[in-house]
Structure 1
């Protein structure tokens, strides 16, 4: 969720809620519908700046702004009981102590349902909002992210699980012997600690990571428990799955404790032809100004001055997200798309899409499971109709095939994903 659809035409689709990004009543309804369908989590993307594109593009996109994620997810925690709550938080422009405290708080408020999507923030305009003159180099962002992870997880381990004895008769609230002062001094970060909040319910909130570049894959192998992947085909998905699982094994981690969930854009209808028609109509609602703005942002390079009906020019190396840039260049080359055609795909989502009936979509998902994915990060084409169609059609089909739960078996996000609770590194059992 972004916090609703990633598709820039979604707000214009017939029957869609144009104000859904800023309507808590709608967002509450979406989260409760997903919980009733037994989804693992509500995963909210975030941005630290207005998207890096011209005003003519911005004015046409509902993705320009959204709620601050911790405020929204804390509110949703109060109106849900089981569904996980995953938020994006930047390692580039926030402080490790802030991130550790916010996620620990969300995990306690939700009784063990929090997850942290680690991002390094590619948008150059975000740097300008935090006192920097330019964006940090791509590889440097990932080195900082790796250290950031160590600090945040170390802060979560500040107190043993049994530190807070709350002995009323003796007047002792916690055992000082069960508190650890991190005292971290590293390349990018200096954080004393301890965190001023008890250890999270899950030990650590679930760690999610979305980078597909070389540094991103290595960071995932070393740190992530869920990978939000973006491979557009089963063939590329197989390669990514094998690569990241292999890296995980190579660093001494159990690959079963890292779940790879490709982003899947879903359009569901009674017939495949009807679903394709819905997708075509949705894509037609993406104005060229919006599409070219999205494309430029993904490429990290302005191609608006080139012939829109000509081919994509050579794109130099940039400081943008490498995986998104390479994905768009490859798509243009493989499908021989013009800039105009590529811009429409950029604005409408150019990645993996399941467009069809509940049965055909379940068939495609089944082909991916275990070889290209451990599940999927579902993205809805418009709200509420696209969400309702998936929940009412595809979920029962997956349940009928024994591929998806009918009831939650646990209470935490780790329970839903089959992930172990991490041991406290300073106070092992």
Structure 2
């Protein structure tokens, strides 16, 4: 059993792999080497990250693709079973599950999450998402509820009570009315595995400040990142809590700056799946508050390159400098995506991680 969860370790900047469970990862591109998300490749990427000392694997929860030539992300592994398998083939890295609260019952989630926590010997984590895509929710016969973060609060309270109550309990809430609830085994982590939430809107951020250990957020420029940190710290302090902020970046790391920029233009401009990018941006713009409003118009390449996340494009030295700048804005970690994780992750680990160690951010 690990002594503490990897996200609570000593490195000043935590790094992890994002969206490897889904076709394309975060990239919406037609290049031949695009990520196919086959199981063997997921296992290989997880083991590379584990050996390199990265802190976490974070999957994306998707049920429907974005159309276009690639129908990006429709092929995706369900995150609880994926996490259980990743936990079984790794030793140190944290393994997260991502759930949509309205389509998963908290009692089932409590049992599944505890199972992964035992398989991983205390490395499990939960990314709590309330959802934004009405087409996906329609597949389950569920509508997006304006009070879905109220539902998320009840959902998480039930999960915690599943682990901490010694006797069966009833629950009478707005969204859940349950009788004689019991769930064993409890999680190894007490009172529950660590949680994160990705929210940009007011209701979502209030939920994260009140209930979660970590918040994922985006920014259009690094120097704008500090305002998210100070805002969330103030929200958490209202509840006598602390919260760590993480962000997301898509990586193109090459020997020269020109080589990196050329490849970024090739996969995220010239060979982007433009129809799928249009569908993704349209849905996000209408239903999600995950990005600044002007980001959709100013940074189309970023949505093809990495779902609107920040681009870390350049030499190992340039990328290390950018990560250091992000840390100085107050961020505790970054979830990283690549066009092809197994092809590109080894070079990133071999060349960027030593620079971060030299800068005192990682041991």
Question: What range is the shorter-chain TM-score in?
Answer: 0.7 to 0.9
Which residue does the alignment assign to 1:391? 349
Which residue does the alignment assign to 1:330? 294
Q: 1:141 aligns with which of 141, 144, 148?
A: 148
Q: 2:271 aligns with which of 263, 266, 285?
A: 285
Please say which structure displays the higher CA radius of gyration.
1
Counterpart Cα distance in 2 of 1:293 and 1:351: 17
Which residue does the alignment assign to 2:139? 129
| Equivalent residues of 1:259, 1:374 under 8 A apart | yes
What SS does the corresponding residue of 2:333 show, helix, strand or coil?
A: coil
Corresponding position: 1:12 with 2:31 = yes
TM-superposed deviation, 1:332: 5.1
Deviations 1:244-270 (CA, angstroms, capped at 9, x unpaired) = 0111111111x2xx2211101121111
Counterpart Cα distance in 2 of 1:271 and 1:184: 59
Aligned 1:235-254 pairs, distance under 5 A? 235-253=223-241
**Larger strand share, 1 or 2:** 2
Q: Aligned in 2, Cα 1:259/1:184: closer, same or farther, shift over 3 Å?
A: same
TM-superposed deviation, 1:288: 2.1
Corresponding position: 1:225 with 2:225 = no
What SS does the corresponding residue of 1:12 show, helix, strand or coil?
A: coil
Q: Aligned in 2, Cα 1:383/1:332: closer, same or farther, shift over 3 Å?
A: closer
Q: 1:43 aligns with which of 58, 69, 73?
A: 58
Which residue does the alignment assign to 2:281? 295
Deviations 1:76-127 (CA, angstroms, capped at 9, x unpaired) = 2111111111010111111110111110111011111111100012111222
Pairs aligned (count): 340
Counterpart Cα distance in 1 of 2:317 and 2:182: 49
Counterpart Cα distance in 2 of 1:287 and 1:323: 21
Corresponding position: 1:321 with 2:288 = yes
What SS does the corresponding residue of 1:197 show, helix, strand or coil?
A: coil
Structure 1: runs of 5+ lacking an equivalent: 159-178, 301-319, 336-340, 406-429
What is the TM-score when the length of structure 1 is the normalising length?
0.75
Counterpart Cα distance in 1 of 2:176 and 2:31: 44
Counterpart Cα distance in 2 of 1:193 and 1:231: 44
Counterpart Cα distance in 2 of 1:242 and 1:260: 10
Q: Aligned in 2, Cα 1:332/1:185: closer, same or farther, shift over 3 Å?
A: closer
What is the TM-score when the length of structure 2 is the normalising length?
0.88
TM-superposed deviation, 1:18: 4.9
What SS does the corresponding residue of 1:266 show, helix, strand or coil?
A: strand
